Chain A
Amino acid sequence: DAGITQSPRHKVTETGTPVTLRCHQTENHRYMYWYRQDPGHGLRLIHYSYGVKDTDKGEVSDGYSVSRSKTEDFLLTLESATSSQTSVYFCAISGRVLVTGELFFGEGSRLTVL
């Protein structure tokens, strides 16, 4: 157990509504990531964080924003959800063992945008 909790685990929402997914870690890892997983595309990086208040974009960042106000929490926000953002979202952490770069993943948050 890598000490990662994602919430909510399942959410159904309507187009145009804001949505926030939360990732909470208890392992004091420096780096945190948000990925989305879609059939035919695999896992793609949305945003990542390399410290409190330090974030950067990944491959598919359009339509998403993130915040990290504490080491243990990384929030992913969809300001105005669209149907194309229906996906399974995974949070990941790394950095406690800096040399190897091993990643640990949460259980995922399934988001459906109607």
Chain B
Amino acid sequence: KQEVTQIPAALSVPEGENLVLNCSFTDSAIYNLQWFRQDPGKGLTSLLLIQSSQREQTSGRLNASLDKSSGRSTLYIAASQPGDSATYLCAVSKIQGAQKLVFGQGTRLTINP
């Protein structure tokens, strides 16, 4: 059974710092990995999606990498801002088609002005 772990569970950093969020998964036979952002009381917003054949994806100040063989992904946030404060979730899917995602429990990120 696939298990996804995110460490740390919570992180607080001053504004302007570059930071890395970690995600690990136990079964390397994945189809894709997705990073989401969730603001309090809101739904999930897709940030980046990495196909299993890819090594990284970038969107603005965000960069996600994937090392499928070691079962790890990192989300790098450059020049953090208070507006980046949210919970960040990673999730993996095993097959194409119906995306039965397995989620980690998230990292709650606080950026202090």
Chain B residues with Cβ under 8 A from A103's Cβ?
Answer: 34, 44, 46, 99, 101
What's the tally of chain B residues with a CB closer than 8 Å to chain A?
25
For window 57-94 of A, CB contacts with B under 8 Å fall at 58, 90, 92, 94
Chain A residues with Cβ under 8 A from B51's Cβ?
Answer: 100
Interface presence of B76 (CB below 8 A): no
Whether A101 pairs with B100 at a CB distance below 8 angstroms is no
Whether A43 pairs with B89 at a CB distance below 8 angstroms is yes
Which one of A40, A95, A107 lies within 8 Å of B42 (CB-CB)? Answer: A107
> Interface of B with A (CB < 8 Å)?
31-32, 34, 36, 41-46, 49, 51, 89, 91, 93, 96-101, 103-106
Whether B103 pairs with A105 at a CB distance below 8 angstroms is no
Assess A31 versus B99: contact at CB under 8 Å? Given A100-B49, A101-B93, A102-B49.
Answer: yes
Assess A106 versus B99: contact at CB under 8 Å? Given A42-B104, A42-B106, A100-B51.
Answer: no
Assess A50 versus B34: contact at CB under 8 Å? Given A42-B106, A43-B89, A43-B103.
Answer: no
Contact with B along A92-114 (1 / 0, CB 8 A): 10110011111111111000000
Question: In the complex, how many angstroms separate the beta carbon of B1 from the nearest chain A beta carbon?
Answer: 9
Chain A residues with Cβ under 8 A from B96's Cβ?
Answer: 98-99, 101
The distance in angstroms between the C-alpha atoms of A100 and B97, with both chains bound, is: 9
Q: With a 10 A CB-CB cut-off, give which of B36, B44, B98, B101 has the most chain A CB atoms.
A: B98
Contact with B along A1-37 (1 / 0, CB 8 A): 0000000000000000000000000000001010000
Chain A residues with Cβ under 8 A from B49's Cβ?
Answer: 100-102
Which one of B89, B100, B105 lies within 8 Å of A48 (CB-CB)? Answer: B100
Chain A residues with Cβ under 8 A from B36's Cβ?
Answer: 105
Interface presence of A45 (CB below 8 A): yes
The distance in angstroms between the C-alpha atoms of A25 and B91, with both chains bound, is: 22
